[in-house]
Structure 1
Amino acid sequence: MDIIYNICFITRKRFNEVEVLMLFRQKNPNRHKWNGIGGKIEQGETIDESMEREILEETGLKVKGLAFRGIVTWNQTGGMYVYRAEDAGGGLTACNEGELAWKPFKWVMEANEVVSNIKYYLKDILLDEPPMEFSCIYENEQLISVKKKPMPDLAKELTFN
């Protein structure tokens, strides 16, 4: 399975409430839905470099605490690396992908205008837990299941006996 995309959920605390920076996409996939910040990994980039580039291109923000939080896959055919980060301040720039807005965490978890699978993994990726895999199954573009499982321990897999 090729994982060629990344996504980051940037948070900030405002009046004791967590807000998440969301992008109202003007392009497919997920056109006219709110999504995290991200895109396609370019040739020659590491996953982290790609995520840093996408955040800067789409938001103009500097972030702190950028952390790999797992992967989200769909129908075992594709997927994306998932990150979280915190806003380090500064103003948002205009984004050619769509409108940027800070949304309350509760709204992101409940709104129908948000990409359908986000509510199944966002809470987990914002915690300080080990990275997870979220395996999404779609039929006729409708999400029918999300299975959460621990990511394999790559260090153990790379150990030679």
Structure 2
Amino acid sequence: MLKYTLCFIRKRNSLLMLNRRKNPNMGLWNGVGGKIEENETPTEGILREAWEETGISLSKVIHAGNVTWESDKGNSGMYLFLADLPPNEEIQTPLSTDEGILEWKEIDWILHPNNRGVVDNIPIYLPKILDGQMEREYRFIYKDGVMVSFGVSPLMC
């Protein structure tokens, strides 16, 4: 069961990224998102989370796929979303929040092969999403906190 949401908010060639203050992924850059609340759809959850974490009121998000993971700490997953920054919204960064530091990061920086500052699975799925390859499921297996394998398949509706 997918319990979480994650959204990449795009502004031209940059994405709004969050350097997390807390685990999981403390100290790493990631999109914004969080846990889906009871009686909330994934879309409602990401719209709420984006507002809570950034102050941006998104009117439209695109479901870009799903990510699941298996680890010695348990299994879970999240719905991935992509959104463009609404024309009437602006956010000046860097910005310190309760969740971490928000900052616009160039897509080339995020996806640079030597960049160890982003969550390790982002370079696997983000290029496909940005290229318009939606509705895929990305499955990751971790052992002792290290990714040991992954797979990609069409999302079954």
Verify the 8 A CA contact 2:128 2:134 in the aligned structure 1: no
Higher CA-based Rg? 1
| SS of 1:63 mapped into structure 2 | coil
| Percent of residue pairs identical | 38
| Bigger mean CA offset, 67-76 vs 20-29 | 67-76
State the 1:90 CA deviation: 2.1
TM-score (norm 2): 0.88
Where does residue 24 of structure 2 map in the other structure?
A: 29
State the 1:129 CA deviation: 3.0
Where does residue 157 of structure 1 map in the other structure?
A: none
**Of the candidates 128, 131, 137, which is equivalent to residue 124 of structure 1?**
128
Name stretches of at least 5 consecutive residues in structure 1 with no aligned partner: 155-161
Verify the 8 A CA contact 2:7 2:32 in the aligned structure 1: yes
- Per-residue deviation, residues 106-147 of structure 1 (Å, max 9, x unmatched): 111122010000000001122333410000111110012221
Name stretches of at least 5 consecutive residues in structure 2 with no aligned partner: none
The 1-side partners of 2:122 and 2:8 are apart by 10
**Runs of at least 4 residues of structure 1 off by over 3 A?**
none
Verify the 8 A CA contact 2:63 2:81 in the aligned structure 1: yes
The 1-side partners of 2:14 and 2:40 are apart by 29
Verify the 8 A CA contact 1:62 1:87 in the aligned structure 2: no
Verify the 8 A CA contact 2:69 2:141 in the aligned structure 1: yes
Which amino acid letter does the alignment assign opposite residue 129 of structure 1?
Answer: Q
Verify the 8 A CA contact 2:16 2:31 in the aligned structure 1: yes
**Of the candidates 56, 79, 96, which is equivalent to residue 98 of structure 2?**
96
TM-score (norm 1): 0.86
- Per-residue deviation, residues 42-101 of structure 1 (Å, max 9, x unmatched): 011111100000000000113354100110010182110000000113225752100000
Instruction: Give RMSD over aligned pairs.
Output: 1.5
| SS of 2:63 mapped into structure 1 | strand
**Matched ranges for 1:1-161 at <5 A:** 2-13=1-12, 18-63=13-58, 65-75=60-70, 77-88=75-86, 89-91=89-91, 94-110=96-112, 111-152=115-156, 154=157
